[in-house]
Each structure stands twice: as structure tokens, then as C-alpha cells.
Chains A and B, each alone.
Chain A
Amino acid sequence: MSVEIRSAPHIKADSGVVKIMRNVVWSLLPICAFYIWQYGISALASLVVVTAACLAAEEFFLRLGRQSGDLGDWSATITGILLALTLPAGFPLWMGAVAGFVAIGLGKAIFGGIGHNLFNPALVGRGFVQAAFPTAIATYTPSFMPGRFSEFIPSSLALPFMTPADTTAWAASHLDGVSSATPLARWKFEGVLASNWDLLTSLSGHLAVGPSPLLILACGAYLAWRGYLDWRIPAAVLGSAALLAAALYPLNPQHFPEPGFVLFSGGLMLGAVYMATDMVTSPVTPRGMWVYGALIGALTVIIRYSGGLPEGVMYAILIGNAATPMIERVTQPPAFGTAPTKETKA
């Protein structure tokens, strides 16, 4: 038969899963570059090892079969990069590899691969190492250490199943008076607040922080503008976190930080822009996205203020993921033809 028979529609928007994923990877590259500039070869090694572990795990489970997707869809690459960005820069590399493997294995493969997972794989991996290696995951190092391009942070190179070297002493020996505690931990346990501007840009001071919130915002804005990321979710997460923080602040200005600190510290920005927006694990309905984002923002603040740990973004997003099917059920789009008629004079 010489004529082709296809089902309508016969044309197609210029987009695709691979294209979306590839663009997300590209948008992450500036963030990675800045992160490496902050932390040197340790950060580079961490990004490479964690991403490689994710790709290896993906390949492994694909070979086992009954998985959808393939390595070329870039989704495991995204998981790897995001996971590495949530870990301390000096996180022991072998632990990073474990995190990567668990992220793909427990976070994605057991659900059936791309599109089927319930939780954000990167956060599943991070959750696992948080439970398995509670000390290492809480051990941060200050940024912009002298010699960071020639020397690894000692904990990076820890041998498997060995206790990593003490980075606090190492940091103190390199640079006087810096703190290896994260700004969030210092607020929580010492009552010291870092400057918002320093947090936002991550440019000055030797802060023990993750990638720059400002850069994350910029890269996320680019993605949203290209239509590869739904702006509603970060807007809802950041909006609800800021609102709740602003509402709580006057109750106890001694203890509660102001909204700016809440937004720019810890992993909230990365979580709001890149983790909560993971398409597979967030609602498809526009109204659902608002609810989901607001829930994550509020939970983050609540966990930070009242939990035992300084950071709460990860748990907030995982809870949001778990609530997604329920949120979707109650936020189905309004049916055409059921809205009350409001006549306009044409």
C-alpha cells in the first residue's frame, strides 16, 4: 500500500521528552560551574561520581528489563546532577555513588522507570544517605577555601566503610575563624543569622552552603520561559514559605528568622525550582500545582522551625510527592459547560 494511514492529529508540536530533559540538563550547567568554582575539585568529583553512578544504575536496571526509557532520555543525568548538588561538597565519593545507585534503584526502577515513579529519585537517594550516613551528610565545608582547585576536601576521598577525615579541623587549619556549620545550622543551634545578600549570591564570605540561589532562580526562569518548567510550582513553594515565615516572624523575632533568610538558605531554592517541579512526581492539574507547591513551602518552614533538623526541604518535597495523587484527584480542571453563564454583550 503506497498511502500512509495515520490517526489524527497529523501534525505535532515541536517538543519531546528528550528535548525537555536535555534542556533541563543545559540549564543546570551554569549552576554546576559556579558550584565547582565555590568548592573546587571536590565538587567536580562529586558531580561526576554521583551522575556516573546514576547512569550506571539506570543502565543496569534497563538491562534487567521491564523498564521504560533509555539512557539517552537524560532523565538519569538530571537525577545525578541534582542529587550531587544536594550533598555537601566534601561528601565522601563512595557514599555519593551509593546515593546515586539508590536514587535510581529505589527511586525509579522499582516503580517501572521513567514516568512511573512516585517520588523524586534524587531525593530518595538523598533520603537514603541521610539515614545511612547521618554525620557525613551534615558535614559541610566553607566555600572558596584556598587551594580548593589543587586539593580535595579530605572527607571526599574517604575509603568505603571508613570514617571520613574530620573536615572541621581541616577547614580551621586552612582558614582562621570560618565556620563549617551551614547558615541554617548556625541559626538553629547558635542563633546566628547570615546576611541575606551573601546567601542569595553565595559570592562572599566562606559560607557552608550549596549552589547559589540567585543562579538557580535565573536558570529556572530560563527554563520556565522556554516552557520546560511550570512556573506555578516554584512560585507556590517560595510564596507560601515566605508568607508563613512573614506571619511567624513577629511572634518571636528573637528566634524566627525573617522571610529572606528562609528563602535563601539551605536547599529551598534548589528544591523549589528543580526538585518540586519534577514533572513526573508533581500534579498535572494547574490548580493542583498551586496546592502542591504551597504545601511544600509551608512544610519546609514548619519542619525547619520545629523539627530536630535544621533543614526540611527534602522531607517537605517527599511528602508533597506522596500527596500528589490525592491533590490531583481533588483538583481536576473545571468542566467546560458547567460554569455559571456570565453574559457579556458582544
Chain B
Amino acid sequence: MKLFTFLRGEAFARGIHPPEHKGTAGMPITRVPFAPRLIVPLSQNVGRPAKPIVKVGQEVLRGQPLAQADGFVSVPHHAPVSGVVEAIRLNPTSGGLWTESVIIRALPGSPQSVEWEEPQDLDNVDDSGLIAAVQRTGIVGLGGGVFPTHAKLRVPKEFPVDTLVVNGCECEPYLTSDHRIMVERAKDIMKGIAMSRRLLKNPRAIIGVEDNKPDAVEALRAALPPGGEITVESVPTKYPQGAGEMLIKTLLNREVPPDARSYSVGAYVQNVATLAYMGALAPRGRGFIERVITVAGNAVARPGNYLVPMGTPLRFLLDYVGAPEAGVEVIFGGPMMGQAVACLDAPITKGVSGILVFRARDLEAPSTKKSFPCIKCGKCVESCPMGLNPSTLGMLAAKRQYDTMADHYRLGACFECGTCSYVCPANIPLVQQFRVAKQVLRGKPEKAA
């Protein structure tokens, strides 16, 4: 296998090998108890916010819809716990923004079982019926994309998909939730793959798993249905292997052109966790009310892979895992691309795959260190998976020449993977500068063509 990947050119070009810190990889998924109050924001994903369909004071069952989708690119949200709707009001989210949220007071002794479902025989519905069934689960891209999964499944007809690429790379350090899902819920993943393949007109499916997770590869292979249309490939462990474009490059040696979707090269990428939940929930007509989240970091006393009810307040979860609330940095997602949390009163939402808590005093973020001017060491150029020149981009950003960045140095192709900032010995906050540049450019009126 190693030789095979070597011969065909060893994964995508460039990239890095940060320390993995995947100490939670061997820890089975365990449940987190209900917080006294759960907060379900109506807007948790790309697309329109959901419309509430419950009233204040109303009793709801675990799994019952609280809000319905508003249009096609929108998903419903469901009650994560049986309880009473206490309020529908503004509540802070992780970024610090306040959004309309449904607050549910959990009933004491609320059951862990799902009390509300609408099972459906999906074998006998047409494609739009299947897409509607996926939409009813309220699933969004769980790898961090938070794009409604059912909407992504509607691929334009002019782009035939020949390969469903299943992303089991989980290349971010610390995170192991996808790993555990592959080990413990391989059957659900296969169900999700079957549904997706049906909607994509039966392409072959390749599950790409980084070679630091041999037990996941084994579990998946054991769960493969007969027929050989689905295969499991062990791919080199390298950041950012889990980026869709990079995995397509590694598995198929196809490069998605700039500004194009992956289906333009015949590939459709879906994350393993998304498929697992789709496979488990859609046939039973259940809502997405909890997910597996890795909680780790050097300030966490009891790290692990937790099954967390959606809407659990971050403060409650930190308390449960034994993490202090002061003098820490809390990150939603992985250490390379995750977002620092501004407000501990924020609830946990659908897009959170990991929660990392670091003691502030040993923060390693580039922005905490003394920075030098670019010494042109070339490390960033050598590492950028998109083949950009972060050194020159950074110098242009410092001079605010944002248009030159976009027009001559392909700023738009940067997907903010963080690799350049990670390697830069001068501690230049490159990605941060690129983010600002993109924001400024977005704010500008379109140039006349």
C-alpha cells in the first residue's frame, strides 16, 4: 500500500505534518447528560434560518421538530431533549453574534430515547422524496462546511458524477470523532453511502482514510457490502488531506479547477460523519439532535469523544469534561482551521466537530509570538497545498494591495487551511491577513468587467 501510494506520486503536493495529538482515538463514544436548559439557534448553517413552529410554554418531545425549513437551502431543527419551550429569543452564538434561538427547559429525568419519529420506506420513494427525507433530518455538512446535505445531493444534470469520494481523513490534529464513527458506526456509513449513490446515479464509492487510522480502515472494510462498488483506500497522513480537493487529487489524481465545484471533475465528496447520520436518521424519519464531538486540549481533565445533544451550552460541557472557564482559549473545530469561541454561553451547534480547550499561557498561536518581517525562507511556498505564494501575498497584504493579490496571486484559491501561518518562522499571521483581504474585496463593488 505504501509503495502503491509512493508509485502514483504520494498524495497531493506539498502540505505539512503537524504533531497529531490524537490521544482520544482509542476512546469509545460516551454520552453527555442533558443540561438543564438547551439552546437551539434557528440559524446554524449555510442557507436561510428555520422558521419556529412551536409556541412558548409548549411541551416538546425529544426529536420533535421545533422549526421547519424555509425553502430548499434550509433545514429544520429538532428538540434535543423532552421539555418545555421556555422562550424564543436572541442568544449569543460562538462567534459572539446574537441569533434567534429556541430555549428548552429539560424535564427532570428526560429520557435518552428518541420519542418522536416518522419512519419511511425509502426504497419506494422517488429521488425527490429521498432528498426530502434527508432534508427532514436537518443534517448539514458535519465536516465543518455546514451546507445542507440534501441540497448538496442535488447535483446539476450536466455534471455526471463517476466517483463518490467519502472523506474519512480527519486530518486536523486532536480531532478523533470521525475516527470513532468509522470504528463504531461503519454500518450507518454504508447506509448513507447507499443513499448517496442512488441519488448520484450509482457511481463507484471510495472511502479515503488517512493511514494513521488502521482500525477505521479495518472496520469499514468489514462492513463493506458485496459487489465491489465501494472500496476503502488508506491515504498518506498529511495535512490538509481532509480538504475535498486534496483527497480528490490523492485518490483520483484529478485537480478541481479554481472556482469550480468538485463535480466538474466527476467527483462528489461527502464526510463520513454526515453519511453516518444520514444513514441512521433518514430511514427512521428522525431529526439530527446530537452528534459525536471530540473534546480535547491540554486544559481538559477528561478528554474524549462525546455524544453531545445539540444546544448544550458550552459552559455546561466544559464543566462536565473538567475544563476551567478562565484563562483558556476555546476552539470550535480543529487547531488549524477552528474558530476561537468568543462567548462561553454559546450553545453547541451542528457544525461543531471538536472542542479544544488550551491554557492561555501556553498558547502556540502564531499571533501570540513576536513577528519578524518575511525572511523569504520559502517554507510557506513549499507547503501551501494550493500552490500559492503566501510570502508575496503577505507582503502585498501588508501594503494593502488587495486587488493585486486577487488578480495576480490567486488569493481566491486560498481556502484558509492555515498551513502557511503554521510553518512561517517569522510568525507572520498570513492567513489572518488573507481573510481580511478577502473581506475587503468582498465589500468592494464588483469591478466592471
Contact = CB atoms under 8 A, between A and B. Distances in A.
Interface stretch (A45-53, A113-121, A170-178, A256-264): A113-121
A7 B255 contact: no
A10 B329 CA distance: 9
A8 interface: yes
Nearest to B297: A10
Interface in B331-370: 331, 333, 335-344, 356, 358, 360, 363-369
Given A9-B335, A12-B369, A343 B329 contact: no
A110 to B, nearest CB: 15
B372 A114 contact: yes
Report whether over half of chain A's contact residues are helix, strand or loop; otherwise say mixed.
Answer: loop
Ordered nearest first, which 9 A-B pairs have the shortest CB separation? A115-B373, A9-B418, A2-B326, A4-B329, A6-B365, A284-B378, A337-B257, A7-B432, A333-B387
A333 B384 contact: yes
A15 B423 contact: yes
Contacts of B330: 3
Interface stretch (B39-47, B99-107, B246-254): B246-254
A279 B333 CA distance: 35
B89 interface: no
A7 B373 contact: no
Given A17-B425, A336-B386, A343-B252, A6 B368 contact: yes
A204 interface: no
Interface residues of B, number: 83
Interface of A: 2-13, 15-17, 19-20, 68-69, 73, 112-116, 230, 279-286, 289, 328, 332-339, 341-344, 346
Nearest to A230: B378
Nearest to B333: A8
Given A4-B328, A20-B377, A328-B392, 9 more contacts: A3-B325, A8-B336, A11-B422, A12-B365, A115-B373, A279-B375, A335-B258, A338-B258, A344-B253
A115 B342 contact: no
A13 B18 contact: yes
A329 to B, nearest CB: 9
Given A7-B340, A9-B421, A115-B376, A285 B389 contact: yes
Interface of B: 8, 13, 16, 18-19, 173, 206, 231, 233, 245, 249, 251-258, 260, 265, 325-331, 333, 335-344, 356, 358, 360, 363-369, 372-382, 384-389, 391-392, 409-410, 413, 416, 418, 421-423, 425-427, 429, 431-432, 435
A333 B384 CA distance: 10
B373 A68 contact: yes
Contacts of B358: 10
9 contacts: A2-B327, A6-B340, A8-B340, A12-B366, A16-B425, A115-B372, A115-B374, A230-B378, A343-B254
A328 B435 CA distance: 24
A282 B427 CA distance: 20
Contact of A114 (B206, B253, B375): B375
B255 A4 contact: no
A336 B387 contact: yes
Contact of A115 (B249, B325, B368, B375): B375
Contacts of A289: 378
B377 A284 contact: yes
B381 A10 contact: no
A10 B387 contact: no
B374 A10 contact: no
B373 A341 contact: no
Nearest to A227: B379
B413 A16 contact: no
A114 B372 CA distance: 8
A113 B344 contact: no
